[in-house]
Structure 1
Amino acid sequence: MDVLQGIRGDGAPRDFYETCGLQRPVHRLRVRVLCPKLRTHIGGLRDFEAPADEIALLPLRPRVVVIVENLETGVALPDMPGCVALMKLGNAVGVLDRLPWLQGISVIYWGDVDTHGFAMLDRARRVLPRLRSGLMDEQTLLPYLHLAVEEKVQCPVAEMPRLTTSERIVYDGLRQHRWGKNLRLEQERLPRKLGIAALEDASLPFGLSDSSVATERRVDLSQ
C-alpha cells in the first residue's frame, strides 16, 4: 500500500481499491433461513451467501431477524418459525439498509460482549434505530466471567450515543476494566442452549414460538 501510494503521489487516496485503480467488490451477506416455511419461497435454501443487493430482492418476509456477529454461532442455530439469521457482518452493518424486509419487524443483534461488539451494535442502530440487543448485558456477563478472554485492543471510541442504559453500563465497565483488564466474552463461549433460549424468548411477544418458557437468562429487550 505504501509503495503504491509513493508511485501515485502523496495526494493518492489511502483506500486500497482507489489507490490500485480497482473496482470495489460487492458486499456479500451470509444468510441462514431458520424458518422451514420461508425456505419454500426461495427454493429450499437454508444457508447461503450472496451480494446484499441480490438478497434484498428475495421474497423473504420474516417476522424476526437475528444478526449474529460470529459465523460459528449462527450456523449452530436451530430452526425457528418466522426467523432469518444474518451472520458475520462485522463493521459492515451499514449494509442492512439495503434490505427492505428488515423494516417494521423485530430485529435482534447478538454480538460479543467486548468494546468492539458494542461499537458494531451502536453502528447498526444508525440504520435500524429500534434494534434490540441479545445477551449483551451484565446479567449475561457476570455468570460467565470465567469464560472471558482478552480483547487485545479495545475500541478507542468512548461516545456510543445509541446504546441503551444497560448496554452502556457494560460498555463503560469494560473500558474501565471493572471486571478485569480488556475483558472479552465471545458469544460462542456461552452455552448453546442459553443463546437458543434467549432468542426463542425474544420471539414470544411476536407470536413466533410456542415453546415453554426456559429457565435460562434471556434476551435484553430494553430500548
Structure 2
Amino acid sequence: MLSPQEIRLKAEKWWNDGSFLAFWLKNEPFFPKEVPQIGLVKPSETLSNFEKIYSEQEELKRYSKVEKGFGYELTWQKIKSHKIGESEFITKISFETEDDYLKFIQKSEDFEIFQSNSRLIINFFPQLMQWVVQNPIKVIENAEKWEDLLKVGTYFLENPKPNLYIRQLPIKNIHTKFIEENRPIITSLLNFLLPKEAVNDETQDFEKRFGLLESIPLIRLRILDKNLFINGLSDVSLPISQLESLFIQYQIKQVFIAENQMCILTFPEIPKSIIIFGSGKAVSNLSKISWLKSKIIYYWGDLDVEGFQILSELRYFKSDAISLMMNFDCFEKFSVEGLSKGKNSVKSIPPNLSEKEVVLFKYLKNLPIDRCRLEQEKIPQWYVEKCLTELAKI
C-alpha cells in the first residue's frame, strides 16, 4: 500500500507534467482524481499481514483530509472474516477538490500566480491560448518576467525582421540584456506568435531566425614568425571572414590553440606558426576557417574535464588535432603548484579522445571539485619551451 510520501510524489507529478494546469486552462474537470496503484489489500492478506496493513492504514488516515482538514480522502470497505471479525480496509485514495489537492502539494500560492500570469498572457495575446495550454510549466518558470516578455512579443509582431542588433531594439523599459538572457522562452513564444514569413525556419540561430543583425565574432591570434607579421603587427583580432582569406594562410605550417591569454603572450617564437586565443566559442568558430584543416593543429588547454571536452569538439572538424601538455607527466609535475576549483560539468566521457586521454579524463573527473583543475599558467615557461623544442625534433 502506498505511503503518504508516495501519494505526494504521485500528486506532484500531475503538477510537474502540466496535466492539472492544462485541464484548468481548458476549463475541463480534473477532480475528483483517484491516486493510481495504491496496492489494495487482498482478502487473503488480511490475516497473515493484519498488523502491517493496520499500521499502514493508520498512517494514511493521519495524513488524510479527515485528520488534516485537506488533502486526499480515503474510501473504506468493511470485510468480514471468521478469524479476525469485521474490519475496514482502504479501497480507494482520491482528491475530491482542487483546493484539497493544492494545499496537499503546497502549491496554492503558485497556482494563484499561474492563474494571474495565464490570464495576463491570454488577454494580451488571445492567439497564445494554445501555447499556454501546451507550455504551462514555462508560464510558471518565467513567472516574474511576463510583462517584459509580452513587450518583446509585441515589438516583434509590429516590427518583423527588424534588422537591428539585439541591444539596439527600442523596446521601452526592457534591459539591454533581457532578450539575450531569455532566448529560449522568447524563441518559443515568437515561433508560435509570428507569421510564417517573419521566421526563418531554416535555422535555429536566434538572430538569423528572427531577422536580427549578428555580432561578428572576432578571432584573436598571435603570429609567432616575424616574417609573417602583418604590417609589423604580431597580435591581431580579426573577423572570421577576414581570417579565412588572410594572405599568410598559405605560409602557415602549424597552428597552436590555447585558452589562457598570458600563455599566448609568452608563447615562444616558432617558424611558420601562429597561436590562436581559443576561449569561449572560439574553438567552435574555427571550424568555419577551411584552410585550418590542412595545417598541423595543437591544442593546449587547462588540465580538467572541460579542457578535454574542448579538445573533443576541436576534433570534430580536425580529427588529427594534437593535444599539447595535456598528459599525466605534466599533471604530476605541476599539480604540486596548486590545483584550483573546476566546474566538473562534463557528465560523460567525450568522444574523439585517445586511450591515454580518456584515462586522464577519468582521473580528473574523480578529483574533489575544489581541486580538479591544473590551469595552464601553473605550467612554467621552461617546461613549455622544453616541450616545444622536443616537438620541433619530430
- TM score, norm. by length of structure 1: 0.79
Q: Counterparts in 2 of 1:1-223, with a 5 A limit?
A: 3=145, 4-5=148-149, 7-8=151-152, 12-13=186-187, 22-39=212-229, 42-60=230-248, 61-177=251-367, 182-205=371-394
Q: Deviations over 1:109-159 (max 9, x none)?
A: 001001111111111111111100001111110121122333342123313
Aligned partners of 1:105, 1:20: CA distance in 2, in Å? 36
> Alpha carbons of 1:171 and 1:7: their partners in 2 closer, same or farther (altered >3 Å)?
farther
Aligned partners of 1:172, 1:182: CA distance in 2, in Å? 14
Aligned partners of 2:243, 2:355: CA distance in 1, in Å? 34
- Any idea what SS the aligned residue of 2:315 has? helix
> Alpha carbons of 1:169 and 1:5: their partners in 2 closer, same or farther (altered >3 Å)?
farther
- Any idea what SS the aligned residue of 1:37 has? helix
* Runs (5+) with no aligned partner, structure 1: 206-223
**One-letter code aligned to 2:390:** D
Q: How far is the alpha carbon of 1:203 from its aligned partner?
A: 3.0
Aligned partners of 1:27, 1:163: CA distance in 2, in Å? 28
Decide whether the 8 Å contact of 1:175 with 1:182 is kept in 2: no
Decide whether the 8 Å contact of 1:31 with 1:49 is kept in 2: yes
Q: Deviations over 1:167-217 (max 9, x none)?
A: 11111111112x885410001111012112212322333xxxxxxxxxxxx
Bigger Rg over Cα: 2
Q: Deviations over 1:25-68 (max 9, x none)?
A: 111111100011222xx322200111111111111221111101
| Cα RMSD after superposing both structures | 2.6
Aligned partners of 1:115, 1:55: CA distance in 2, in Å? 29
Aligned partners of 2:206, 2:295: CA distance in 1, in Å? 37
Match of 1:220 in 2: none
Match of 1:211 in 2: none
**One-letter code aligned to 1:110:** W
Aligned partners of 2:342, 2:321: CA distance in 1, in Å? 27
> Alpha carbons of 1:19 and 1:147: their partners in 2 closer, same or farther (altered >3 Å)?
farther
Aligned partners of 1:16, 1:68: CA distance in 2, in Å? 29
> Alpha carbons of 1:88 and 1:103: their partners in 2 closer, same or farther (altered >3 Å)?
closer
Decide whether the 8 Å contact of 2:349 with 2:361 is kept in 1: no
**One-letter code aligned to 2:363:** G
Q: How far is the alpha carbon of 1:90 from its aligned partner?
A: 3.1
| Greater percentage in helix | 2
Aligned partners of 1:89, 1:180: CA distance in 2, in Å? 21
Bigger RCO (CA 8 Å, 6+ sep) = 1
- Any idea what SS the aligned residue of 2:287 has? helix
